[in-house]
Amino acid sequence: MTDPYVIAIDGPAAAGKGTLAKRLAEHYGLGYLDTGLLYRAVGRLARERGVDPDDAEAAGRLARELVPSHLDDGSLRGHEAGEWASRVAAHPSVRTALTDFQRDFARRPGGAVLDGRDIGTVICPQAPVKIFVTASAEVRARRRTDELLAKGRGVDYAQILDEVRQRDARDSGRSTAPLRPASDARLLDTSDLDIEAAFRAACAIVDASPPRIP
């Protein structure tokens, strides 16, 4: 069965996909789910309960316990939560547990925008619109560094760049649902684009895709 009208946004960390996905959802009047929050929430639960995020069985149990209220924690968008998320997301048991949550959201009346790392390849492979948002590791590390500095945190660009590269390697090298563009996804490189230019480019991709059926 073909998925409802879904805009699938995938890409590595700090490429700008979350901001774009939220803007697209508002622009086209669709529901929005940042699927990365699911993995961040599992990672946060692991840290709070003293569970090793590299323990696949334990992480899988936590993922099966996840409820929507776990996504309301504002600290889930922090850098530390992102690192823990990348570690638990490597486990097939975690990804399987969270797949139904994402697919149920995608089936909501009126359609939805989901952003993550395997939306177009695994979660909604029949989505009519697939965009893979990317940027160079150096640009993404600079964005993350600037973001943290703006929040008053002392950070080192070289360390952030190393973490970005390590996370890319984990996300792309995992055996289950590795980070990669779907074969029919449109690539959007934001390395040299500000958010407005990236948004216009994304809208152009959506508008050139199959029309939404009322």
Give the residue numbers of the binding site for ATP: 11-19
Q: Which of 113, 38, 122, 118 is nearest to 73 (CA)?
A: 38
- Average pLDDT, stretch 148-155? 88
Interior angle at CA 105, CA 180 and CA 49, nearest 5 = 80
CB atoms under 10 Å from CB of 184, counted, come to 11
Domain segments of the chain as ranges? 6-206
- Tell me the sheet residues that pair with 83: none
Q: Is-contact 114 22, C-beta < 8 A?
A: no
pLDDT grade, residue 94 (50/70/90)?
very high
pLDDT for 62:
95
Q: What is the pLDDT of residues 18-51, one digit of tens each?
A: 999 999 999 999 999 999 899 999 999 999 999 9
- Superfamily of domain covering 6-206: P-loop containing nucleotide triphosphate hydrolases (3.40.50.300)
Q: What is the pLDDT of residues 48-73, one digit of tens each?
A: 999 999 999 999 999 999 988 898 88
- Average pLDDT, stretch 111-140? 95
Say if residue 3's pLDDT is above 70: no
Distances in whole angstroms, Cα of residue 22 to Cα of each of 9, 28, 72, 155, 199: 10, 10, 16, 27, 10
Give the residue numbers of the binding site: 11-19
